[in-house]
Structure 1
Amino acid sequence: MITDVLIIGGGGAAARAAIECGQKNVVIASKGLFGKSGCTVMAEGGYNAVLNEKDSFEKHYSDTMKGGGYINDKKLVDVLVKNAPNEFKNLEKFGCIFDRSESAEFAQRPFGGQSFNRTCYSGDRTGHEMIAGLMEYLNKFERIKILEDTMAIKLIVDEVEENGKKLKKCFGAVFLDLLNGDIYPVYAKSTILATGGAGQIYPITSNPKQKVGDGFAIAYREGVELVDMEMVQFHPTGMLGTGILVTEAVRGEGGILYNKNKERFMKNYDSKRMELSTRDVVAKAIYNEIQEGRGIDGGVYLDVTHLEPEVIKEKLETMFSQFKLVGVDIRKEPMKVAPTAHHFMGGIKINEDCETNISGLFACGEVAGGLHGANRLGGNALAETQVFGSIAGRNALNYAEEKIDISKVYDSVEKYIEKLKNTFKGSNSGNNVYSLIDELKNTMWDFVSISRDENGLKTALEKINEIAGKKVLINGVVDFSKKLELENMVLVSKIVINSALLRKESRGAHFRNDYPKTNEECTGNFVAVDGKINFVKIE
């Protein structure tokens, strides 16, 4: 299969990129069902945009940098805050419906770490509304082909010479059909990675099952730079024991956190912002309350019973329904919540044009790193999907206009596929791949989650290296795909651990028990590429 633009991903960033380059031949390859398997459809809280004359780009920029521990890519932050308003208005053109005030202005709620109420929303199902509008609008484009249940297993990258210089160039990707086991290439003039994060390397996560870090792994293997991979956000409030997200909108609407002693404990961690502190601060506070014995059943209480019942049903409809299913009426009793693995701030290093260090390869959405620094503000991720999805789509479209000879990679790709098919024939002995995946997840949770130290990180690295060395039993396409996922999870986990070992300080989502303070000498980014991790200081 040959196309002009290949988009790998199934969420809001992929959809927005497709709209931008829909005048060309476009193939969208989604590991699950397009629009239903990414994180966007699950996002509840909102979309940050400067829409009020009392707000400003400078305030949004400052809040984002401060929340990110000042290691954000300043150019990316500038692009986000200045383009978020127009992209939000584009969503209305695509058919999305957002809440408005009595004066017909867009309604905006307070979110953690923000100096102004700039989070636009559609009840507590904002992401669902966005993806519905995007998918409906995509129906206008006849040249877009969607492949579902399709896993990207290798980027097609080759070295070429242009203007007397050698450089790496991307020509598409190789895929595995998860239903019938077919392995095949999609050749493309330009390729966009919009594969999301890797929350599934942890056992308790808000992420859907597809988010194991495939995009990080297949990019890294071809020499793509990854930045800030030690920065993994744990959302403070997941539904206890499930990882199902309890949106920040609950706290935005006035939800209160308290421990088993009925103490509103956030006054001890951020007396000014309280429950609307940044996610890293709230997550660590909840973790600390639980560790010191003030939790309840391994969590804490989140209470909205003081709010009017009509407000809860109208603005927190999903939360009301979600807890009702487990017998909890949040109008009358508190929710039990605990931190859950949620978002990767780190990812593929991009510039403000969404270009990677490989020609013809672009990245957008959660798979791209640098924007959020050490901690993401709630509401910035949905804005990110639209701002950088549109930029990636536009630049991929322009790149596809160039004359590109794809035929030069045909032979090497066919050889790779034949070799891979031989490993697909199966193995009659080995370890159960699901058991190995569970072992990896538990290792990451025990040693590489909210609280870290050198001994724990080194222990995790040893355990994951042991997992990587074990043979896997393969019996059919499901086992084979899980083996490939495990290899990706191992690679991503090792990069996270090694980056965390090198960052000998606490900053944002990265908390080291053995280095509890922020070190100004570490104000910079760890960039992983070609088996090395380099530190780039921010002056």
Structure 2
Amino acid sequence: MESSHWTAAGASPESTDRERVGRDDYETVERRVLVVGAGAAGARTAIELVEQGVDPEDLLVVGKRGHGDAHTTWARGGINGALGTHDPEDDWTVHAADTLNEGHHVNDPGKVETVTKRMPALLRELDEWGMAFSRTEDGEIDQRYFGAQSFRRTAFAGDHTGESLLDTLVERAQDLAIPYREDLFVSDLVTDGDRVLGAAAVDIDSGEFVAVDAEVVVLAAGGYTSLYSRHSSRDDENTGDGPALAYRAGADLLDMEFVQFHPTGMVGARYGDEWDGRLVTEAVRGEGGRLYNAEGERFMERYSPDQMELDARDVVARAIAKEIAEGRGTDSGGVYLDISHRDRDFIEERLPRMYERFADLSVDMAEQPVEVAPTAHYGMGGVVVDDVGETAVDDLYAIGETMAGVHGANRLGGNSLAETIAFGEVTGQAVAERLAAGDDSRGGGDTGAAEDRAADLHARVGAHFADLAALSDSDGTHDPEALLDEVRESLWTHAGILREGEGLAAALDELDDIRERAADLAVGDRTDRSFEFALDLGFALTVAEAILRGALERAESRGAHVRTDYPETDPDWRRSVVIGRDSVGAMRVDTAPVGTPSEAVQEALDAGYELDYHQLE
């Protein structure tokens, strides 16, 4: 067979001599803006574009699954914004300070301020659009405690906030007649070396190739934590599409080593493999849930007597992992999370989805604890972008979990949904201004330039589609899903909650071996899941290498990144790790300085606000 090398490295006209797929053999779609990603970030960007005057027919939002079926729906606990519903002393500067403290001060302060300043107004806007927020007795948007937050600033809709948020955004987008296309897997971005020209995609339902000719591409394709064997996402999302696509197009990646392990994922040995690692929302602890080991000890008293179960996620996750490692875990390999001291009516009202889920598994949360253990949950790293989300590749933007900068070394719970909404607005405004200024990368009125651009686009997508055509129905040796599982196991083992240099180096060697075998795959046709797994494997190999190289470079422990061979936080390491390409296309590792907060946020930092957990007792 011909080599399926695309899965390991990506294809371009320079990297293959295979005959290109002709223009008559694939569909071409022309739009001014392509938004890749069906979650909150992509939806909010598209909405903002239309509200800024862009014709909906100039847009296309694409997703790998059905409309409204995105990872956003799994973000259950809440969305942050300093409304001050219960705590009027809260404001955006304290929110920013909490975010920087939780991120161990390697966040981009400007991006943090962009989110925290905008969120109160954006929460009220969502309310006006009909989002089903939980309410106080006075009818205000209710807010709850979340880990490491100084005040109650996490707005919520029961324990289904992400689902309610996405439903609201989808309804708004439909009211604005924004075009959407389902089941379209974007496999490559097309550039001329300096700017984006569009994208190549596969309709995973029909198997047809699709080229999208676009002036601007916005990547809102999620993160990369499904590349761990135990994770809170579904297996076919958060597989690194966004960062890998941007990197291959010429953008840099930032702080990929910072992977958040949520303290409370379901334990598969107790509830079944299909639920292994799935999130038990932080809202359970935010509403007073307590953690106990198998000996009945409320063990967070040892690790964090002041903030207890609502300390930072990295602190709580490591505490749970230590309890399990030292033999105080359950027979199923977890610890107990118990909210049964709360009234049944309270649990059913505040945590309806969690209550229903465990009831279906024959567990009554009002009477008994549930079993949990840490799970890979969120990638703080991502694509390097400027203040409005643009990458180093002209006209290519990245937002949501695909971008880096807001969260630093550890994400503050409730900030993921906030980031999607805030940067959706910011990027939508920036792209609308660019379009209004007439910056048409197709060549505007210059017929020759437009023809050259189109020829360049089709030459590149034709070569890429030729590689994908060779990949489908390939009669190789190795199963792409099995290799993807090997990547996941290697990352969990060597780049999980605890890391050390020798293990990280060993994982890079394992990755090289997987990459060699990925050149000889057994793949079905383009509608077969094995074809999708092969594409996922290509993204995984790129992103896993970036995680490992970043973790090996950062010779300290900070936030979610813990090196047992460098257990201390090093003040000289208050900088970011940047992953780029060297002159021969291999990964290059550099570092970059971190900015300083504004005077207003520095004042909030100096004030030393801190959560008082015992108000919940």
Which bin holds the TM-score, normalised by the shorter protein?
Answer: over 0.9
1:5·1:190 contact (CA, 8 Å) conserved in 2? yes
The alpha-carbon deviation at position 425 of structure 1 amounts to 4.5
Which amino acid letter does the alignment assign opposite residue 439 of structure 1?
E
Question: Which of 593, 596, 602 is 1:537 aligned to?
Answer: 593
Which amino acid letter does the alignment assign opposite residue 359 of structure 2?
K
The alpha-carbon deviation at position 475 of structure 1 amounts to 2.0
- What is the alpha-carbon distance in structure 2 between the residues aligned to residue 523 and residue 451 of structure 1? 20
- What is the alpha-carbon distance in structure 1 between the residues aligned to residue 576 and residue 288 of structure 2? 35
Q: Does 1:179 align with 2:235?
A: no
- What is the alpha-carbon distance in structure 2 between the residues aligned to residue 376 and residue 14 of structure 1? 20
Q: Residues 178 and 495 (structure 1 numbering): CA distance in 2 closer, same or farther, change over 3 Å? A: same
Which amino acid letter does the alignment assign opposite residue 466 of structure 1?
D
| Secondary structure at 1:373 match in 2 | coil
Specify the alignment match of 1:286 in structure 2: 320
Moved more, 370-379 or 97-106: 97-106
- What is the alpha-carbon distance in structure 1 between the residues aligned to residue 108 and residue 353 of structure 2? 34
Q: Does 1:377 align with 2:430?
A: no
| Secondary structure at 1:506 match in 2 | coil
Which amino acid letter does the alignment assign opposite residue 40 of structure 1?
T
Question: Which of 479, 482, 490 is 2:533 aligned to?
Answer: 482
- What is the alpha-carbon distance in structure 1 between the residues aligned to residue 244 and residue 119 of structure 2? 29
The alpha-carbon deviation at position 329 of structure 1 amounts to 0.5
- What is the alpha-carbon distance in structure 2 between the residues aligned to residue 431 and residue 403 of structure 1? 44
Which amino acid letter does the alignment assign opposite residue 287 of structure 1?
A
Of Structure 1 and Structure 2, the greater strand share is in 1
Specify the alignment match of 1:494 in structure 2: 545
Specify the alignment match of 1:365 in structure 2: 400
The alpha-carbon deviation at position 94 of structure 1 amounts to 2.0
Aligned-residue Cα RMSD (Å) equals 1.3
- What is the alpha-carbon distance in structure 2 between the residues aligned to residue 400 and residue 214 of structure 1? 26
Q: Does 1:403 align with 2:443?
A: no
Specify the alignment match of 1:2 in structure 2: 30
Specify the alignment match of 1:162 in structure 2: none
Question: Which of 250, 268, 271 is 1:223 aligned to?
Answer: 250
Specify the alignment match of 2:8 in structure 1: none
Q: Residues 481 and 272 (structure 1 numbering): CA distance in 2 closer, same or farther, change over 3 Å? A: same
Gaps of 5+ in 1: 160-167
Specify the alignment match of 2:74 in structure 1: 42
| Secondary structure at 1:342 match in 2 | strand
After TM superposition, list the pairs within 5 Å mapping 1:320-469 onto structure 2. 320-401=355-436, 402-405=439-442, 407=451, 408=453, 409-469=456-516
The alpha-carbon deviation at position 129 of structure 1 amounts to 0.7
| Secondary structure at 1:341 match in 2 | strand
- What is the alpha-carbon distance in structure 2 between the residues aligned to residue 83 and residue 254 of structure 1? 29
Spell out structure 1 runs of 4+ moving beyond 6 A. Answer: none
The alpha-carbon deviation at position 418 of structure 1 amounts to 4.5
The alpha-carbon deviation at position 414 of structure 1 amounts to 4.3
Specify the alignment match of 2:112 in structure 1: 77
Which amino acid letter does the alignment assign opposite residue 65 of structure 2?
G
2:78·2:155 contact (CA, 8 Å) conserved in 1? yes
Specify the alignment match of 2:309 in structure 1: 275
- What is the alpha-carbon distance in structure 2 between the residues aligned to residue 422 and residue 403 of structure 1? 32
The percentage of aligned residue pairs carrying the same residue is 38
Specify the alignment match of 1:147 in structure 2: 181
1:183·1:417 contact (CA, 8 Å) conserved in 2? no
Q: Residues 414 and 199 (structure 1 numbering): CA distance in 2 closer, same or farther, change over 3 Å? A: closer
1:190·1:399 contact (CA, 8 Å) conserved in 2? no
The alpha-carbon deviation at position 429 of structure 1 amounts to 2.5
After TM superposition, list the pairs within 5 Å mapping 1:188-337 onto structure 2. 188-208=214-234, 209-241=236-268, 242-296=276-330, 297-337=332-372
Question: Which of 18, 21, 26 is 2:59 aligned to?
Answer: 26
| Secondary structure at 2:521 match in 1 | coil
- What is the alpha-carbon distance in structure 2 between the residues aligned to residue 313 and residue 422 of structure 1? 51
- What is the alpha-carbon distance in structure 2 between the residues aligned to residue 123 and residue 425 of structure 1? 44
Which amino acid letter does the alignment assign opposite residue 318 of structure 2?
K
Q: C-alpha deviations, 1:317-349, integer Å up to 9, x for none?
A: 111111111111010010100111110100011
Q: C-alpha deviations, 1:494-527, integer Å up to 9, x for none?
A: 1000000000111111011111110111101001
Gaps of 5+ in 2: 1-28, 269-275, 443-449, 582-586, 596-617
Which amino acid letter does the alignment assign opposite residue 325 of structure 2?
Q
After TM superposition, list the pairs within 5 Å mapping 1:151-166 onto structure 2. 151-159=185-193
Q: C-alpha deviations, 1:244-303, integer Å up to 9, x for none?
A: 110000000000001011111111111110100011111111111111111112100000
- Length-normalised TM-score, structure 2: 0.84
1:298·1:338 contact (CA, 8 Å) conserved in 2? yes
- What is the alpha-carbon distance in structure 1 between the residues aligned to residue 567 and residue 326 of structure 2? 17
Q: C-alpha deviations, 1:132-181, integer Å up to 9, x for none?
A: 11111111223x2211111111111114xxxxxxxx11122111111122
The alpha-carbon deviation at position 421 of structure 1 amounts to 4.2
The alpha-carbon deviation at position 415 of structure 1 amounts to 3.2
2:190·2:457 contact (CA, 8 Å) conserved in 1? no
| Secondary structure at 1:340 match in 2 | strand
Q: Residues 35 and 474 (structure 1 numbering): CA distance in 2 closer, same or farther, change over 3 Å? A: same
Question: Which of 559, 572, 576 is 1:525 aligned to?
Answer: 576
Q: C-alpha deviations, 1:197-217, integer Å up to 9, x for none?
A: 112111221112222101111
Specify the alignment match of 1:165 in structure 2: none
1:95·1:134 contact (CA, 8 Å) conserved in 2? no
Which amino acid letter does the alignment assign opposite residue 192 of structure 2?
D
| Secondary structure at 1:65 match in 2 | helix
